[in-house]
Structure 1
Amino acid sequence: MEMETSNGSIPAEEAHTSLIHGLPDDLALLCLARVPRTYHHVLKCVSKRWKALLCSDVWYSCRQNLQLAESWVYAFCRDSCDCLCIYVLDPSRRCWKHIKDPPIPCMKRYGMAYAVLERKLYLLGGCGESEDASDDAYCYDALTDTWEKVASLLVPRCHFACEALDGCLYAVGGMGLTYESLQTWEIYDPHVNSWQCSSDPSIPSDIGESAIVNGKMYIRHISPDIVPNSYAAMFDLSDNKWHPVDNEMVMGWRGPAVVVGGSLYVLDQTSGIKLMTWKEETREWALVGRLSTLFTKPPCCVAAIGKRIFVIGKGLNTVVIDTQTAGRIQGIMLCTSIPGLVDFDDLVVSCKTISI
């Protein structure tokens, strides 16, 4: 099992030292892999070899294969200076902490897309008040706590949709250099670090929310009250095409979406804060319950871990809803809360989860 640190090779004398004295490295790996994720930063301090292990593909694969991986929530926020900052929530400790800031060129950009592939967060495109749409693409490795620039988008774009599907990233629509609506989409393959671009007239303008439902990517127009030429579209891997959609699901979809156990949930914030779910058997949206504004400050974003939905509002104030056991009192959902940070009033613009 060969490993390197992020700064280079391990010294020869340490490379030949056992991970745990008296145990073969393969058995030592199986032991260390069972340490909860919340203590991984401590393990990295033991030795250069342990740090290299915890930053390696071997470690990531072992945790995944043994079904030991734990998901944490990553929140992209805008601070009082309009700079982008990122915080991570360890559900076991129920507290938020700041992680390494993104690269300086994109800290004040708007309209960026955020996506996750395996253990990496991707930050794509965007534009500024005096800056045209960008083709920049960066990724953050949650194992090594490092940022790097990856292959640029083929088309500069901002305010676009991006989702992970079948091991690739899909960047769709948005606005280009002259603020025209783009009817192009790109696929990023992380194994070869390159994009491929295609065009399709079925891609709607002014894309709002997007989601992967039953292996298909759905995107919708930003406002349900405006009826454009194409309101929503669905990408099907089976024919590699976008198809216009105007069914009951997309027409009633109002707000950030998340999929839990194969079911689509949407946080409707048009009047109060309501959690809705799509009932495929009856082809209608059903109210799960309302959320109290005492614990959440809209606008809110959503993320999911297992059967739990995390609703994260301004200041990182968070409520956790267990979709299997959540009850209601007079229509208000019973849920647990995680306090935000003290004297922190940042706006949350997106939330993602990474499992390690």
Structure 2
Amino acid sequence: MAALIDGLPDAVALRCLARVPFYLHPTLALVSHSWRDAVQSTELYKVREEVNTKEDFLCVCAFDPENMWQLYDPNRDIWFTLPVLPSRVRNLAHFGVVSTNGKLFVLGGRSDAVDASTGDQDGSFATNEVWAFDPIARKWSPRASMIVPRAMFACCVIDEKIVVAGGITVCRKIISNAEIYNPEKDVWESIPDLHHTHNSGCSGLVIGGKMHVVHKGLTAVHVLDNVKQGWTVHEHSWAPGPMAVVKGSMYVMSNGVIYKQEKEVQRVVVSASEFKKRIGFAMMGFKDDIYVIGGVISPERWNCDIKKLSDVDVLTLGSEQPVWRQAAAMTRCRGTILGCTQLRI
């Protein structure tokens, strides 16, 4: 077998390849079969960790087109398109999405596709399927299914393990079940249930290393202090609206303003009035900034089309006066954002 780089041991050559930015990896794979095998190996991921060359990417999935994900590289302001998620569910939506161990995980959800002849939603109301995308091998693979099918649920990573809780299962039944997934063993285990359910879905945030489960319209927040001991319930008068966590602090967009939520006090950060007409967007903390991505603008007149957006607006928080800027728009995805998370490669 030929050496990766003439005159160098393969271990040293691999460390050289690990310093090449991720966006150039497809080009490296064209050099030779040995280079292709190297850049698509799990060993490269480990070496990138050793030499501290991992990069952070933003992962986004929108309603249009179906089951497609894109990665955003903030250092180069460019987007990549991933292979289509091979789910059996058309227009998969209301799923959980997280990343851990260098892989993107898409869990559960239901179909947002509508049968034109009947007006009914296509497929099952909730699925328990789990998919993992390996960015090094550049492919999706199925993983162990969740114990309980669910959609519109809370999903977070705690200590490199995935925790899911609550949501809606088959027959539109609200559930309080919770479970935890070990990605190394590919095994799910049940953990204590939430203390109560609510007649809507829920979402999850990690604040201070603890998972917080928030139900829209409720002040009661479930907090996972310890997986074995289960959940505690805390009352919070948080402002309603999309939430994002940046450097351990929570920010909320409410009534055209972004607030920093400090315990029970909301501190005004900046105006966000331009987003009042936009719905279905994602708001996420990414590195040191807040990203507002995609969404739709409803028509002012009945005979106008809904405007599907691919815009990406970024709020830089590091300065004394936070300022908005526009990042490169998504190149393929547009419209309502179905999932958004950060991936380190």
Q: Evaluate the alpha carbon distance shift between residue 133 and residue 342 of structure 1 in structure 2; reply closer, same or farther with a 3 A threshold.
A: closer
Distance between the aligned counterparts of 1:321 and 1:198, measured in 2?
A: 37
1:338 partnered with 2:327 = yes
Distance between the aligned counterparts of 1:353 and 1:96, measured in 2?
A: 14
Q: Evaluate the alpha carbon distance shift between residue 89 and residue 232 of structure 1 in structure 2; reply closer, same or farther with a 3 A threshold.
A: same
Which amino acid in structure 2 is aligned with residue 114 of structure 1?
V
- CA drift at 1:291: 3.0
Partner of 1:100: 83
1:52 partnered with 2:41 = no
1:34 partnered with 2:19 = yes
- CA drift at 1:173: 0.7
**Matching residue within 25, 48, 54 for 1:63:** 48
Q: Evaluate the alpha carbon distance shift between residue 109 and residue 52 of structure 1 in structure 2; reply closer, same or farther with a 3 A threshold.
A: same
Partner of 1:252: 238
Which amino acid in structure 2 is aligned with residue 149 of structure 1?
P
- CA drift at 1:105: 1.0
Distance between the aligned counterparts of 2:201 and 2:333, measured in 1?
A: 30
Partner of 1:12: none
- CA drift at 1:218: 0.1
Distance between the aligned counterparts of 2:39 and 2:284, measured in 1?
A: 25
SS of the residue aligned with 2:343? Answer: strand
1:353 partnered with 2:342 = yes
CA deviation profile, 1:50-101 (whole Å, cap 9, x unmatched):
2222222221122123221111111110017xx3321221223323342211
1:272-311 matched pairs, under 5 angstroms: 272=256, 274-280=257-263, 283-291=264-272, 293=274, 297-311=278-292
Which amino acid in structure 2 is aligned with residue 209 of structure 1?
S
Partner of 1:211: 205
Which consecutive unaligned segments of at least 5 residues does structure 1 have? 1-15, 328-332
1:240 partnered with 2:234 = no
Greater Cα shift, 138-147 or 57-66: 57-66
Asked if the contact 1:236–1:242 (Cα under 8 Å) also holds between the matched residues in 2, the reply is yes
Which amino acid in structure 2 is aligned with residue 306 of structure 1?
K
Number of residues paired by the alignment? 321
Asked if the contact 2:224–2:230 (Cα under 8 Å) also holds between the matched residues in 1, the reply is yes
- CA drift at 1:44: 1.6
Which amino acid in structure 2 is aligned with residue 212 of structure 1?
V
- CA drift at 1:326: 5.9
Distance between the aligned counterparts of 2:341 and 2:57, measured in 1?
A: 8
Asked if the contact 1:301–1:311 (Cα under 8 Å) also holds between the matched residues in 2, the reply is yes
**Matching residue within 54, 61, 69 for 1:76:** 61
CA deviation profile, 1:105-158 (whole Å, cap 9, x unmatched):
133233211121132111111223252321111111121221111111111111
Which amino acid in structure 1 is aligned with residue 327 of structure 2?
I
Partner of 1:223: 217
- CA drift at 1:294: 8.0
Which amino acid in structure 2 is aligned with residue 347 of structure 1?
T
Asked if the contact 2:128–2:145 (Cα under 8 Å) also holds between the matched residues in 1, the reply is yes
CA RMSD of aligned residues (A): 2.5
1:170 partnered with 2:163 = yes
Which consecutive unaligned segments of at least 5 residues does structure 2 have? 112-120, 296-308
Distance between the aligned counterparts of 2:33 and 2:163, measured in 1?
A: 37
TM-score (norm 1): 0.82
Q: Evaluate the alpha carbon distance shift between residue 239 and residue 94 of structure 1 in structure 2; reply closer, same or farther with a 3 A threshold.
A: same
Partner of 1:3: none
SS of the residue aligned with 2:16? Answer: helix
